[in-house]
Amino acid sequence: MKRWRSRGRGMSMTSILVLMVVCIVAVALTGCMILFISRYQRAMEQSAKTSSEQAVEQVASVVGSYTRDMNQAMAMLVEALEEEEDPDAFFDNFLKIRPDVVAVTRYDSQGELLDCWALDRQPREHILENLSFDKRLLESGQESSISAPHVESIFEGYYPWVVTMTQKIDGEDGESWLALDLSFSNISSYINNVGIGQHGYCFLTDTGSSIVYHPQQQLLYSGIKNESAEEQLASRDGNYTQEDMICSVKDIEGSSWRVVGVSYVDELVTANVAVMIQIALTIVAAVLLVTAVSSLILSGVLSRPLHSLSNEMEKFEQNAAEYTYHPVKGAREVGALSDAFGHMVVKIQDLMAKVREEEINLRKTELKALQAQINPHFLYNTLDSIAWMCEQERSADAVQMVHALATLFRISISKGHELIPISKEIEHAKSYLQIQKYRYKNQFSYTFNVDPACEEFYCNKITLQPIIENAIYHGLDLMVEEGRIDVTVRQDGENIVFTVEDNGVGMSQEQVAHMLHREPGDRTGIGIKNVNDRLRIYFGEGYGLKITSELDEGTCVEIRMPKVKRGEYGEK
Amino acid sequence: MARSKKMRAVLSALALSVGLLCACSAVSTPVTTQKHRVALVVKSTETEFWKSAFAGAKAAATEYNLELSIRGPETEEDYKTQNEMIGQAVEDGAEALAFSAIDYENNVPAIEAAAQAGLKLVAIDSGVASDKISTYIGTDNYAAGKMAASAALQSGESQICVGLVNYDANSANGQEREKGVREILEQLDNVEIVQAMNVFSIAENARIRTEAMLKQHPEINVIIAFNEPTSVGAARAVRDLGLEEDVWLVGFDSNVETVDLLQSGVVDVLIVQNPYAMGYLGVESAYKLLAGQTDEVESTVDTATVLVTRENMFTPDCQKALFSFAGW
């Protein structure tokens, strides 16, 4: 219980070590990764803006050169109109080499259509509404303009979308206007193919913020989509971030058009960052795994000897006396600890041996003192009995008594040995009973039942006698009818078991419990407690006396000791 | 005890790393979806209406990286061929079908078979009598019919005699439009529907039948034609008979010819649908159904219609509705 608690109190060294190392590494790595990823994200954002800006600049320069080109063409046409002898042929040729020019029209100062040049096409007789010329130009005082996209409305059966460039001509025959209707064919394929990222795109607007050309113009016209960058149309040149979009706006030089580039933060930045985060996480996971494994191995190397040392200590704790120490190998510190423990074990075992020896000596002294104390009393009584026998001339009985007494004393002394063969102990008990039987005038009978195989083993001397004495004095003495004492000796596995059974008055449970703790009184000789203590000191906790008793039924005392052979248990 | 602690530490460390790795790999599995196959089966491949729808469908296919096949019979009455085409699309491994049914009833078996084969179904322009259709995208034809009827009432005549030039009587959208027209006109005392006919959806057939009708019923002063070919045919008939002053012609959809004749006064009103949107949204919905974004697909999507007259035809909005930008 106590051991369990002391173990359960803390985490094992391995866990602490692994946890600490992994935590530190994880925190450090996470910090690094966050720092790195935030830097990376910023860099990606910057590069997304830059690439968006570059794409827009590209488009601006291409479209700019296209508008410059068209301005030059316009100038050329104006010149041709005034100077060429056959302007119609010139215009036809011009239209042939410029398929993106749908029609060239000329208007007088009132805005009425004067001429129309278009390859193989003639304007309708009644033009419902001419979208190619905005009469508001006449009053505006502007020299030139570019219209918003519109449908070419002057032909029959032909309605392409165009923008119109208009230029005022101050000719000899008064002012007039020349208009070029341009389809988007020249710039559309270019703009359509501009990609910023995967889904980014560019479109053209004019300063009036209406869309001139958009790669998804039909989607816009069909009302399926709205250009979400419309908010930025009025913005000045530069980059704008709007929700998850990056808008780049750039004016086209020498034109009223501007280019807007739209790209998505998601695919340019977020996707890249996500990939980076994956890589980072993989690295973190791998590093953590390696760290965990290596710290596990390391802590294993460190803690294994400590574990075995602690196991050794546990073994020692459980059975200190018979423990033999096997040194534990490991780091120098562990080695030192192990050596120190080894020394300690030896020292403690020495001390334990010493304590036991002292205890045994103490008991021996006690035994001797007790023997000295009771023997005279017993002796006088016995001698009285013998004397009385002699007086009665029962010399045979007297002789027997004297013999028994002599045997009793011889064996009691046994040359000072503590352990004697069981046969001797039995003889001792028999002598004692014989004397007592005389003294008690055959008030009781006794039997011995000894397993002959047991006789060669040794036992502590004066083990049975105190118990028999106790049985006579406390069990049989008070009885009216004849008493009986049965002594048996038998083997029980590796043990020898003596039992002394009487049919006396018996004891209550309290008395039984008290029995093994009572100091010897005056009448009782070497106390039962003494016997029990001696056995335990000699053989350990598992051995000694066991008393079972029932009032008016009798008492049974069981003595258990190991099979002791001659020379064992240093019987001194 | 100590061993179990250690084991727990090992296990938790492993679990942590494995978890992280799993998270990584889960994120890193690229979206390597093969191109989805979408089939578009329509009523005809010839009219400007359907060409515009194809342009829209192609735009969506490009945008969503789909493999698009387009099929349509030669005439707008040939539901048998259309059924065969649906079957063919299924055989070719199409995963989704956007289609416009010629026949509300007779196209059902082919559609059900396609649904059985696991295709996602999107109806555009004209529906079919099946509940396997996930969404209908097109004009609210009933409302468009009412719109046409209102336009017919603008003719300025006090007694209005109407001739209806409709196409296939089994086609859902044409019937819906006619229902809308009748709903309005039949309530009015000064309006009489003199003749209602179903012609083949071919301009020449419509012209011949309309001429015959006008000759038979010279009192007719308003004609409503219900789709692009019938409008073209009716306009030709009115032009050829020189009745542009006498007959108020309300047509559907934008065709170069009707637009020309709108300017010259033969055609008076055009109800212009948005075929580009039908094509685009049809394919887009097919994609969404395939991609599992079913929540984003509504059961009906009304693509807007625009009423175009001679007066407003060149306003920016009507230009956008009338004239396709696609192809540039």
**Local confidence pLDDT in tens for the 328 residues of chain B:** 445 555 555 555 555 555 555 554 444 444 445 788 999 999 988 888 999 899 999 989 988 889 999 999 988 888 899 999 999 999 988 899 999 999 988 999 999 999 999 899 999 988 888 888 899 999 999 999 999 999 999 888 888 999 999 998 888 889 999 999 999 999 988 999 999 999 998 999 999 999 999 999 999 999 999 999 999 999 999 999 998 889 999 999 988 999 999 998 899 999 999 999 999 999 999 999 998 888 888 888 898 899 999 999 888 888 888 888 755 4
On whether any CB of chain B is under 8 Å from the CB of A224, the answer is yes
Binding-face residues of B in 47-66 toward A, CB within 8 A: 55-56, 59
- Within 8 A by CB and 6+ apart from B269, the residues are B148, B151, B152, B154, B248, B249, B250, B251, B307, B308, B309
pTM (2 decimals)?
Answer: 0.65
Cα nearest neighbour of B30 on chain A: A275
Residue type, position B312, single letter: N
CATH number, domain of B111, equals 3.40.50.2300
- Residue B95 domain-assigned? yes
**Whole-number pLDDT of residue A41:** 87
CB–CB of A191/A202 below 8 Å? Answer: yes
Q: Is A464 helix (H, G, I), strand (E, B) or coil?
A: helix
On whether any CB of chain A is under 8 Å from the CB of B259, the answer is yes
Adjacent-strand bridge partners of A175 = A170
Question: Do B160 and B95 share a structural domain?
Answer: no
Going by C-alpha positions, the residue among A452, A450, A453, A476 that lies closest to residue A464 is A450
- Residue B291 domain-assigned? yes
CB–CB contact B277 A183 (8 Å): no
CA distance A353 to A9: 34
Binding-face residues of A in 249-308 toward B, CB within 8 A: 274-275, 277-278, 281-282, 284-286, 288-289, 292-293, 296, 307
Q: Which fold has domain A101-183?
A: Beta-Lactamase (3.30.450)
CA distance B276 to B56: 4
Question: Do B147 and B127 share a structural domain?
Answer: no
A282: which chain B residues are within 8 Å (Cβ-Cβ)? 20-21, 24
- Residue B205 domain-assigned? yes
CA distance A523 to A378: 10
On whether any CB of chain B is under 8 Å from the CB of A158, the answer is yes
B24: which chain A residues are within 8 Å (Cβ-Cβ)? 278, 281-282, 285
CB–CB contact A18 B323 (8 Å): no
- Helix or strand (DSSP H, E) at A484: strand A483-492
On whether any CB of chain B is under 8 Å from the CB of A121, the answer is no
Question: Do B49 and B156 share a structural domain?
Answer: no
Adjacent-strand bridge partners of A164 = A181
CA distance A277 to A265: 16
CB–CB contact A281 B17 (8 Å): no
CA distance A195 to A262: 9
- Helix or strand (DSSP H, E) at A364: helix A332-391
Question: Do B189 and B234 share a structural domain?
Answer: yes
CA distance A312 to A302: 17
Token pair belonging to A326: 């096997």
**Domain range for residue B113?**
36-139+274-297
**Whole-number pLDDT of residue A569:** 67
Question: Do B118 and B264 share a structural domain?
Answer: no
Residue A223 CA, distance from chain mean position: 57
On whether any CB of chain B is under 8 Å from the CB of A129, the answer is yes
- Residue B30 domain-assigned? no
Instruction: Provide CATH code, domain A374-562.
Output: 3.30.565.10
Beta-strand pair A257-264/A554-562? unpaired
Going by C-alpha positions, the residue among B263, B275, B268 that lies closest to residue B305 is B275
Nearest CB partner across the interface for A157, out of B28, B260, B325: B260
Cα nearest neighbour of B7 on chain A: A15
Question: Do B293 and B147 share a structural domain?
Answer: no
- Strand ranges across the sheet with B191-198: B191-198, B160-166, B222-225, B248-252, B269-272, B306-309
Going by C-alpha positions, the residue among B319, B305, B321 that lies closest to residue B151 is B305
Question: Residue holding tokens 């869309």?
Answer: A211
On whether any CB of chain A is under 8 Å from the CB of B32, the answer is no
CB–CB of B237/B214 below 8 Å? Answer: yes
Domain ranges of chain A: 101-183, 374-562
Distance from CA of A507 to the nearest CA of B (A): 49
Going by C-alpha positions, the residue among B322, B286, B321 that lies closest to residue B68 is B286
Adjacent-strand bridge partners of A267 = none
CA distance B44 to B46: 6
- Helix or strand (DSSP H, E) at A420: strand A419-421
Going by C-alpha positions, the residue among A420, A476, A414 that lies closest to residue A443 is A476
CB–CB of B125/B148 below 8 Å? Answer: no
**Whole-number pLDDT of residue B32:** 47
For residue A155, CA distances in Å to A152, B34, B142, B161, B229 come to 7, 46, 35, 34, 22
CA distance B292 to A157: 44
Adjacent-strand bridge partners of B11 = none
On whether any CB of chain A is under 8 Å from the CB of B277, the answer is yes
CB–CB contact B56 A218 (8 Å): yes
On whether any CB of chain A is under 8 Å from the CB of B7, the answer is no
Going by C-alpha positions, the residue among B88, B91, B40 that lies closest to residue B67 is B40
On whether any CB of chain A is under 8 Å from the CB of B313, the answer is yes
3-state secondary structure string across A172-232:
CCEEEEEEEEECCHHHHHHHHHCCECCCEEEEEEECCCCEEECCCHHHHHCCCCCCHHHHH
CB–CB contact B324 A284 (8 Å): no
B239: which chain A residues are within 8 Å (Cβ-Cβ)? none
CB–CB contact B256 A159 (8 Å): yes
Nearest CB partner across the interface for B274, out of A159, A217, A223: A223
Going by C-alpha positions, the residue among B49, B70, B71, B50 that lies closest to residue B61 is B70
Q: How many domains does chain B have?
A: 2
Question: Do B167 and B48 share a structural domain?
Answer: no
**Whole-number pLDDT of residue A186:** 77
Which pLDDT tens digits describe chain A residue by residue (572 residues)? 344 444 455 677 778 888 888 889 889 988 988 899 899 888 988 888 888 888 889 888 988 888 888 889 888 888 888 887 888 888 888 899 988 888 999 888 888 888 888 888 888 888 888 888 888 888 887 888 888 888 888 888 888 888 898 888 887 777 888 899 988 877 888 888 887 777 788 888 887 777 888 888 888 888 888 877 766 666 677 788 877 788 888 888 878 888 888 888 877 788 888 888 888 889 888 988 998 888 888 888 877 888 888 888 888 888 877 788 777 777 788 888 888 888 888 898 899 889 888 887 887 777 666 665 556 777 888 888 888 889 988 888 889 889 988 888 888 877 777 788 999 999 999 998 988 888 888 888 899 999 998 888 988 888 888 888 888 888 887 777 888 899 999 998 889 999 999 988 888 888 887 777 765 554 554 577 778 887 887 787 788 888 888 888 888 999 999 988 887 765 44
On whether any CB of chain A is under 8 Å from the CB of B27, the answer is yes
3-state secondary structure string across chain B:
CHHHHHHHHHHHHHHHHHHHHHHHHHHHCCCCCCCEEEEEECCCCCCHHHHHHHHHHHHHHHHCCEEEEEECCCCCCCHHHHHHHHHHHHHCCCCEEEECCCCCCCCHHHHHHHHHCCCEEEEECCCCCCCCCCEEEECCHHHHHHHHHHHHHHHCCCCEEEEEEECCCCCHHHHHHHHHHHHHHCCCCCEEEEEEEECCCCHHHHHHHHHHHHHHCCCCCEEEECCHHHHHHHHHHHHHCCCCCCCEEEEECCCHHHHHHHHCCCCCEEEECCHHHHHHHHHHHHHHHHCCCHHHCCCEEECCCEEEECCCCCCHHHHHHHCCCCCC
Distance from CA of A412 to the nearest CA of B (A): 55
CB–CB of A298/A304 below 8 Å? Answer: no
CB–CB of B64/B89 below 8 Å? Answer: no
Question: Which CB contacts under 8 angstroms, 24+ apart, belong to A268-275?
Answer: A268/A44, A268/A47, A268/A48, A268/A51, A268/A52, A268/A196, A268/A197, A268/A200, A269/A41, A269/A44, A269/A45, A269/A48, A270/A244, A272/A40, A272/A44, A273/A37, A273/A40, A273/A41, A273/A44, A274/B27, A275/B28
Nearest CB partner across the interface for B59, out of A161, A219, A277: A219
Question: Could you give the maximum distance between any two Cα atoms of chain B, in Å?
Answer: 107
A185: which chain B residues are within 8 Å (Cβ-Cβ)? 328
**Whole-number pLDDT of residue B6:** 53
Cβ-Cβ pairs closer than 8 A, A with B, add up to 128
CB–CB contact A15 B257 (8 Å): no
CB–CB of A146/A71 below 8 Å? Answer: no
CA distance B248 to B245: 8
Q: Which residues of A243-367 form beta strands (DSSP E)?
A: 245-251, 257-264
Question: Do B204 and B121 share a structural domain?
Answer: no
CA distance A471 to A493: 27
Nearest CB partner across the interface for B28, out of A22, A278, A289: A278
CB–CB of A499/A543 below 8 Å? Answer: no
Question: Residue holding tokens 């004209």?
Answer: B126
Question: Do B67 and B49 share a structural domain?
Answer: yes
CA distance B285 to B64: 11
- Residue B312 domain-assigned? no
On whether any CB of chain B is under 8 Å from the CB of A8, the answer is yes
Question: Do B190 and B126 share a structural domain?
Answer: no
CB–CB of B220/B195 below 8 Å? Answer: yes
- Helix or strand (DSSP H, E) at A299: helix A271-318
Question: Do B169 and B260 share a structural domain?
Answer: yes
- Provide the b/e sequence for A404-427 (b: ≥16 CB within 10 Å): bbebbeebbebeeebbbbbbbbbb
Question: Do B281 and B268 share a structural domain?
Answer: no
How many other C-beta atoms lie within 10 A of the C-beta of residue A450? 16
B264: which chain A residues are within 8 Å (Cβ-Cβ)? 126
